[in-house]
Structure 1
């Protein structure tokens, strides 16, 4: 990470699994330094509580703004997986792992700090200003590029959701949280049979029912994110215990998708851009994985939806 007090290492020592190795060099950060930048993990530096630990902000001695995930003791496997994935996956639309700390019974991951938080907070549940349709499309395209890269690297994220898409100071989307990600060991392997993990409302049917995890499982989850972006609604309406995916499919069948679109966008979307985006999102959440597009196809359709939107802006700047 280029920080003057870090030293490189090529492996993580773990008493429960002495053969565990990170495939490329990573960096250890002394625990004392992380205590210093968070004032001993003072509450005023606290950002959020995640599934595997608490997240804090801080500034390293070289001026780098960072986010620190202080993993819970039960999250050893997730901690190791996160380091392993991000040590060989590097992309402009993935968060950057700056370093890690594994001492004094602490497991801490250090990332670049994302100034604008997560995507969900800009869609609903906060008082942040509404984003334009063009801005939402750019964010979706960035996230799709990150997922497309992961899939080409034989990595299945396994927990794609709007809170796991972070936004930097320029609202560039970066995918985060790889603790439960899986790597397909064989090029011709069609799926992994594994315990179901993920978030309610985003889990693909075949994965939820039979534990069959594929790249198309990520595509389904991303389709739900696309619907959140379009409708500014949560994946699960807990007051009615209904899913956004089911509602969108029904609206699409009736030709009434525009009726569930975020009211802040309704008069600002080129109908052709809406049609392309809506069709793409609904195809992503097809009940059969075989009927879902690849992330490469999704990316192409989203870029086309943006071009359609930009064409109407050029024709009518007002």
Structure 2
């Protein structure tokens, strides 16, 4: 098994002589028609994508309705969270991180150009590969409607924008907020807010407290003192409480690409 989640497991498989990843709904649960339809929708959505920054759909297979399988290209590097967990900041330098960040931003550019909100941008949903690069995955809670609304129970709250946590109408800018949270992960190699303690009990801050603070705009994820200043500035823009103050995915891509070009120019001028 490659990975497991709240709704599905992902297994390693083979199709026509090549490695694939096979996503299946958990067997231990009884699924409603609407839940199965959501899985069908994910597969239909993936079938429309054609981008080097989005995990490709190979196909679907089933013997009965609740046995549906989503077959995707296999990414041999696992997910970004696992990579961050197993590599130090010295082993995974910012020069390398910028390349991954650009691929993620370009993936969001593609999705947003199709009016698709990912809605669950986090390190666990970024896959790595030694030859195919970095790609976004897991569109189980995506929706082809930039005016979509969502309940708090969908996605992962630590990466969620304030307007999402308030269950308000929201747009593609919610993904930009999550990208800002992802920048914190790249810097600290930790889950957002993991280091924060209750000042009285000295225990990890409660989930409910985090939600309230995010909604009120009184909390920000941690960044280290070694974080590049321009990444700090970029994160501040992405994490703006007002969605209209956040940059677009295209602007993110431009800023990161410009930084890479600047670094390349300095390297060749030495």
Q: 1:78 to 1:168 in 2, by over 3 A?
A: farther
Which of 3, 7, 11 does residue 52 from structure 1 map onto?
7
User: TM-score, normalized by length of structure 1?
Assistant: 0.70
* Unaligned 5+ runs, structure 1: 1-45, 252-256, 262-273
Can you list the C-alpha shifts for 1:201-258, whole angstroms capped at 9, x where unaligned?
A: 1000011113322100011011111221122221231773457x9445xx7xxxxx65
Q: Tell me whether 1:259 sits opposite 2:216 in the alignment.
A: no
Aligned to 1:78: 38
Q: Tell me how far apart the structure 1 counterparts of residues 94 and 144 of structure 2 sit (CA, whole Å).
A: 34
Aligned to 2:19: 65
3-state DSSP class of the match of 1:146? Answer: helix
Aligned to 1:304: 258
Asked if 1 retains the 8 angstrom alpha-carbon contact of 2:151 and 2:167, the reply is no
3-state DSSP class of the match of 1:236? Answer: coil
Moved more, 66-75 or 109-118: 66-75
Deviation at 1:64, TM superposition (A): 1.0
Asked if 2 retains the 8 angstrom alpha-carbon contact of 1:100 and 1:109, the reply is yes
Whichever of the two has the greater Rg, that structure is 1
Q: Tell me how far apart the structure 1 counterparts of residues 229 and 261 of structure 2 sit (CA, whole Å).
A: 13
Deviation at 1:69, TM superposition (A): 0.8
Q: Which structure's relative contact order is higher, taking Cα pairs within 8 Å and 6+ residues apart?
A: 2
Q: Tell me whether 1:223 sits opposite 2:184 in the alignment.
A: no
Q: 1:55 to 1:276 in 2, by over 3 A?
A: same
Q: 1:288 to 1:178 in 2, by over 3 A?
A: same
* Unaligned 5+ runs, structure 2: 198-203
Can you list the C-alpha shifts for 1:117-141, whole angstroms capped at 9, x where unaligned?
A: 01111112x3688323222111110
Aligned to 1:214: 171
User: TM-score, normalized by length of structure 2?
Assistant: 0.82
Q: Tell me how far apart the structure 2 counterparts of residues 162 and 199 of structure 1 sit (CA, whole Å).
A: 11
Q: Tell me whether 1:133 sits opposite 2:94 in the alignment.
A: yes
Q: Tell me whether 1:146 sits opposite 2:107 in the alignment.
A: yes
Deviation at 1:315, TM superposition (A): 4.8
Q: Tell me whether 1:95 sits opposite 2:55 in the alignment.
A: yes
Aligned to 1:14: none
Deviation at 1:305, TM superposition (A): 2.2
Deviation at 1:291, TM superposition (A): 0.8
Aligned to 1:164: 125
3-state DSSP class of the match of 2:71? Answer: strand
Can you list the C-alpha shifts for 1:110-162, whole angstroms capped at 9, x where unaligned?
A: 111000001111112x3688323222111110111111110010000111111
Q: How many residues align?
A: 244
Can you list the C-alpha shifts for 1:262-288, whole angstroms capped at 9, x where unaligned?
A: xxxxxxxxxxxx222221122101111
Kindly report the root-mean-square deviation, in angstroms, between the aligned alpha carbons of the 2 structures.
2.3
